[in-house]
Copies of this chain bind each other. A is one copy, B any other.
Amino acid sequence: MHFTSEHRLDDGLVERTFTLGEIPGTLWTTGSAPAPLILMAHNNGLPRTDARLVARARLTAANGCTVATIDAAGCGDRPRSPAAEQARAELRRAMRAGEPTDEIFESLVGPLVANAVPEWRTALDALLTLPEAAGPVGYSGWTALGIALAVADPRIAAAGLFAGGYVPRAQREQAPMVRVPLLFLLQWDDEGNPRQRALDLFDAFGSEQKTLHANLGGHLGTPSFEREDGDRFFARHLR
């Protein structure tokens, strides 16, 4: 793990970028004291420099967690495969034409999740060697990746998942194997995530402790108090 930059932010947080082989990442800490670690990922692999992800990460770190994100293989700023680029173009075309998109979505997001999992686990190995990331470990964000990581890696102790109307087949099948406490957050009128599919996914999770939060409005309309609720969820399970 090689740190490539370090900035002290106005609110006292330290924001560092790092590389781990080909994987670029960002780490936010309040200092050097041991703290729970939150892995934060954006839906469908948007770049780790996305303004909303960064704002969310900083607020959660300011609450006393160490927060980390990476651009995993095929995600964010990392090179995209020709197959993924073709699927993206095909997805745009099908949406414009009003055609079914499930299979195209599957061919795009299925491999994205599958390729991201080992890289997030590599990042987790490295992050847990840092004194300021003592664990336990929470996951926050992209539902499909959260399912895959929670099933693959027993170090994930709690997960906050967002949206979840479109999730690849493999992760829908894995949902009953998820056993960690869950906070599942959705927007009631999410234009990109069919409500019933998200509710069915919530129903399918194997966790004994699972909580659903839903708010009126579209995909980008999540009220700010939900981030605070998410922090309290992690505080209950990681401290």
Contacts and interface: CB of A to CB of B under 8 A. Distances in A.
A184 to B, nearest CB: 9
A188 B213 contact: no
Nearest to A189: B203
A232 interface: yes
Interface residues of A, number: 19
Chain copies in the assembled complex? 2
A237 to B, nearest CB: 11
Interface of A is mostly: mixed
Contact of A214 (B211, B225, B236): B211
Interface string A180-220: 00000000100000000001001100011111111110000
Contacts of A212: 188, 212-215
A6 interface: no
A173 interface: no
Contacts of A202: 188, 214
A207 B216 CA distance: 9
19 contacts: A188-B202, A188-B203, A188-B210, A188-B212, A199-B199, A202-B214, A207-B216, A208-B216, A209-B216, A209-B223, A210-B215, A211-B215, A211-B223, A212-B214, A212-B215, A213-B213, A214-B214, A225-B236, A229-B229
Interface of A: 188, 199, 202-203, 207-216, 223, 225, 229, 232, 236
Given A211-B215, A212-B188, A232 B236 contact: no
